[in-house]
Amino acid sequence: MKKQLQNTITHHFMPNEFVDNIFEITPELIKGLNKKAIITDLDNTLVGWDTPSATDEVKEWFHRMNENGIKITVVSNNNSERVKAFCDPHDIEFIARAQKPRRKSLKKALSQMEMNSDDTVLIGDQMMTDVLGGNRLGLYTILVVPVKNSDGMSTKINRMLERRVLKYFERNNLLNKGEDDNSNI
C-alpha cells in the first residue's frame, strides 16, 4: 500500500529534472533528449511574476531556441493581457488562462505546434500546476527554482503543498537521482 502511494505521488509530482533557471536548458539539452518543442510557464519561470517584459537574457534564450528549430509555446494560468504583452513582441505563441494542471491547454499547445507529447518538454516553477499537468500528459517535465519568492495567495497554498511533497520525496530518498537511477519512478 505504501509503495503504491509512493508510486502515485512520484508519478504525478516528480519532475524529470530540476534546474536552477531556464538558462540551464539549452538547445543542446533539448536535442540530446530527442525533443523538438517547449511548453513553458511564464510567471516565476521565465521572469519574476511582476516583471512585465522579457529580459535581454530571456530574449536571447528565445532566439537560440528559434535558431535551433525548437518551437516554444508559453502556457500560463495568468490573464491574456499579461501573457500577450509579454509574448507578442517576440512572436512567441501563447495560451493564457490555461487552468493548469488541467490538460486541455497543454494539449492545445501541442496541436498548435504540431507536436506529440513525446516531442515536448514542459518547463515550470510549480509542482501543483506545471509538473502535475505535464506529467499527466506524459511530457518531459523540468522544474525550475522560482525567479521570485513572493507569490499571490493561490500560489502560496500550492507552495505549501509543494513543500510537503518535496519533504515526502526527501524522506523516501527519491531525490538522489544520480545515485539511484530512477529505479523508484
Binding site for Mg ion (CB under 5 A): 41, 43-45, 125
Query: At closest approach, how far in Å is the CB of 63 from Mg ion?
Result: 22
Contact 119, 36 (CB under 8 A): yes
Query: At closest approach, how far in Å is the CB of 76 from Mg ion?
Result: 7
Query: What is the rounded (10 degree) CA torsion for 28, 17, 137, 106?
Result: -60
Instruction: Return d(Cα 168, Cα 115) in angstroms, integer.
Output: 34
Please return the burial class of 95, using the count of CB atoms within 10 Å of its CB with bins 0-12, 13-18 and 19+: buried
Kindly tell me which of 45 and 120 has the beta carbon lying closer to Mg ion: 45
CA dist 180 → 34, 82, 174, 177 (Å): 23, 41, 8, 5
Query: At closest approach, how far in Å is the CB of 130 from Mg ion?
Result: 7
Kindly tell me which of 36 and 46 has the beta carbon lying closer to Mg ion: 46
Query: At closest approach, how far in Å is the CB of 82 from Mg ion?
Result: 12
Kindly tell me which of 36 and 62 has the beta carbon lying closer to Mg ion: 62
Query: At closest approach, how far in Å is the CB of 116 from Mg ion?
Result: 24
Kindly tell me which of 36 and 44 has the beta carbon lying closer to Mg ion: 44
Kindly tell me which of 41 and 162 has the beta carbon lying closer to Mg ion: 41
CA dist 62 → 1, 92, 123, 150, 172 (Å): 45, 8, 14, 25, 37
Contact 72, 62 (CB under 8 A): yes
